[in-house]
Structure 1
Amino acid sequence: MIQQISNSELELMKIIWKEGGKALYASIMSELKKEECEWKKNTVLTLLSRLVDKGFLTTSKIGRRNVYVALVSEEDYLTTQTKSFLEKVYEGNVRGLVSTLIQQDILSSDDLEELQTYWKEKLNE
């Protein structure tokens, strides 16, 4: 099972996933700067090292530069986290989750229509 990661670690993973699952340290820092994230070099290196230790990333060298490669896909991570949330909060009851989304106006009627269309298409595959 894929373990939990911190919000900061997730931010780095999102950058790496956005880069196609592989990113140089320099491109990670560049992307953080674009997002106006002022993390120091040591902070980023520590977070990347933790992600390697947790089995989310591996590193290799291109010349003298480190390239970080995702071992966990974004889809696998999201699926695991969604299932974990559903089990933890709703005891696996999807209807309870959807009911909350509708009752709290988080899921609009347009969203619901889109989901119904998606579901119908999935059933016809």
Structure 2
Amino acid sequence: MEKTIDTTVEAVKISDSEWEVMRVLWTLGQADAQQIADILGQTMDWKLATVKTLLGRLVKKDAVRTEPCGKKYIYFPTVGEEATMKSATENLFAHICAKKVGMTIADLVQEAELTAADIAMIQEALSEKTPAAVIHCNCVPGQCECREHQTTSSNMKS
């Protein structure tokens, strides 16, 4: 049976450990729990039971589907890697002040190992980006020190 990855469905939120399992499935296209445990056993100190637990969670989240094959199951990713990465990025930006997104992106660029092609791609994306006229803070009052919340904080204290 052909593997089917739905790129139209909103990507699910997955934990760091689940990411590791998904990376194996995205690479192989399909695998049984033992294959995944063997691959992750080279870098993680995980037992087969740990991998099976993570696979069970991913099945419940509809990120992975199973097919029986004899006495074992074969696991297939149902969400694409690109859509899942995009969702994780959106999730990150939803948790930080809108006024700090640029600084966060700059920090990510500084921390990441990038090839010349990566840098050229980023520079091209930046050259095509239209700057926002104004970025409004989306923090909870008192969470940050921006001018928008200093006024609100002063009003709350009165």
TM range (shorter): 0.7 to 0.9
Amino acid at match of 2:83: D
Check conservation: 2:64, 2:77, Cα contact below 8 A: yes
Q: Secondary structure at the match of 2:79?
A: coil
Counterparts of 1:1-125 in structure 2 under 5 Å?
Answer: 1-20=10-29, 22-35=30-43, 37-91=44-98, 94-101=101-108, 105-106=110-111, 112-117=119-124
Amino acid at match of 1:25: A
Q: Secondary structure at the match of 1:34?
A: coil
Which aligned runs of 4 or more in structure 1 are off by greater than 2 angstroms?
A: 1-4, 62-65, 90-102, 105-108, 110-114, 117-121
Whole-angstrom CA distance in 2 between matches of 1:31 and 1:91: 39
Among all aligned residue pairs of Structure 1 and Structure 2, give the percentage whose two residues are the same amino acid.
29
Q: Secondary structure at the match of 1:76?
A: helix
The structure number with the bigger radius of gyration is 2
Count of matched residue pairs: 116
Q: Secondary structure at the match of 2:59?
A: helix
Check conservation: 2:25, 2:77, Cα contact below 8 A: yes
Change (3 A) 1:119 1:63: farther
What's the TM-score once normalised by structure 2's chain length? 0.60
Check conservation: 2:12, 2:63, Cα contact below 8 A: no
TM-fit CA distance, 1:59: 0.5
User: What's the C-alpha RMSD, in Å, of the aligned pairs?
Assistant: 2.8
The structure that is helix-richer by fraction is 1
Whole-angstrom CA distance in 1 between matches of 2:37 and 2:26: 14
TM-fit CA distance, 1:92: 7.8
User: What are structure 1's unaligned runs of at least 5 residues?
Assistant: none
User: What are structure 2's unaligned runs of at least 5 residues?
Assistant: 1-9, 129-158
